[in-house]
Amino acid sequence: MVSIEEKIKAIEEEIRNTDYNKATQHHIGKLKAKLAQLREELIKKRASKGKGFGFAVKKSGHATAVLIGSPSVGKSTLLNQLTNAESRVEAYDFTTLDVIPGVMEYKELKIQILDIPGIITGASIGKGRGREVLSIARNSDLILLMIDPPRTENLQSVLKELYDAGIRLDQERPNFTIKKTIKGGIKLVLTIKLTRIDEKTVRTILNEYGIHSAEITINEDLTEDRLIDGILGNSVYLPSVVVLNKIDTIKDDEMIKIKNRFKDIVAVSAMNKINLEELREKIFNKLNMIRVYMKPRGKKPDFNDPLIVKYGSKIEDVCDILHKEFKNKFKYAQVWGKSARFPGQRKGLNHVLEDGDVLTIIRDS
């Protein structure tokens, strides 16, 4: 009997060996839908047979970043330099057999950074405690992809494991909605022209997942993979930074070649503390957090203890964080800072705040 692993391998090989064009688009879309279903089936099967315990990690700070890479690229050393952690460092593979947390304080943000065991091929389907490791990554706010000069090629295998585990890096969620109906078949409502997938393939993929009657409103130029992700609804969408370690071991021309190959890369030497401040700034920016300073009425703002919220947060969001009574009895707010046209401008709940704003919330007595 053919195993699930063999079926997955056969479909992956068929997709690789099939030229992608209009004539094959429908067939490839069907194959990708089946492949995603088989991966889900395999993960569930291995999970039901799993033994032992997962990694217990208590979240702390305002956000969590996870160091991910092949074994022995220097993750532990970097963690120790950025935070107050004491992760064991040795000159051989698989030193980190558990999850080591540390906290990096930067611009009033407390960022938890986790050093996790190296990811190996097959991690997404449970090899090498891969499911536990990748579940930590899925629940983080930022992925730090760490590589070193001798093994830059290993990043592709790490990225594949992340993708197969449903982790989508530097992407927005698929922009379409599915409203199931009792009858009428598949009705497509397109707000944008589809150039990367045809309507027949959309219907075929939907049918593969048991959707035969529904209204689908599509607001982006979808691919097969994006459509499948949206149907399954179990992927997470996280920002990432590629960290090249050990730059003091390579020449300038090699450094230029590596930088040209990777997007959004920060080159450091964890051992010799080179460019660590640049990395801290990149982590801060990628987390997309802002600082809001609360000012009680008639008093000075507390610049030592900002409220940390996501970029794009409104005054309403701040009220929700503080206490439900702030919104229930909200009268108006006063804002000082970038988002205000003048100091102390009155604003309502829907006002969008910016980094460094000072906020006073006035409530009904």
C-alpha torsion 56→60→62→63, nearest 10: -20
Q: Where are the beta strands (DSSP E) in 100-191?
A: 100-106, 109-115, 142-147, 167-169, 176-180, 186-190
One domain for residues 80 and 103: yes
- Within-domain flag for 249: yes
One domain for residues 246 and 210: no
**Domain span at 244:** 63-171+236-287
- Within-domain flag for 81: yes
Task: Give yes or no for a contact between 145 and 214, defined as CB atoms under 8 angstroms apart.
Answer: no
One domain for residues 70 and 133: yes
Alpha helices in the chain (DSSP H): 4-17, 25-48, 75-82, 130-138, 154-164, 199-208, 224-232, 252-261, 276-287, 315-322, 324-328
One domain for residues 74 and 141: yes
One domain for residues 149 and 276: yes
Q: Binning pLDDT at 50, 70 and 90, where does residue 94 land? A: very low
One domain for residues 324 and 341: yes
- Within-domain flag for 79: yes
Over residues 181-193, the pLDDT tens digits come to 988 889 999 999 9
Of 193, 221, 249, at which residue does a domain stop? 221
- Within-domain flag for 123: yes
Mean pLDDT for the stretch of residues 246-256:
83
Of 269, 287, 305, at which residue does a domain stop? 287
Q: Which residues pair with 145 in a beta bridge?
A: 68, 242
Distance between CA atoms of residues 83 and 168, nearest Å: 26
Q: What percent of the chain has pLDDT over 90?
A: 35
Q: What is the pTM of this model?
A: 0.80
CA atoms within 13 A on the CB side of 249: 13
- Within-domain flag for 58: no
Indicate if the pLDDT at residue 89 is higher than 70.
no
Distance between CA atoms of residues 80 and 113, nearest Å: 10
Distance between CA atoms of residues 167 and 143, nearest Å: 10
Distance between CA atoms of residues 353 and 310, nearest Å: 10
Q: How many domains does the chain have?
A: 4
Distance between CA atoms of residues 162 and 204, nearest Å: 26
Indicate if the pLDDT at residue 51 is higher than 70.
no
One domain for residues 344 and 201: no
Domain at 115, CATH number: 3.40.50.300
- Within-domain flag for 56: no
- Within-domain flag for 57: no
Q: Binning pLDDT at 50, 70 and 90, where does residue 53 land? A: very low
One domain for residues 114 and 130: yes
- Within-domain flag for 226: no
One domain for residues 269 and 306: no
pLDDT at 294: 92
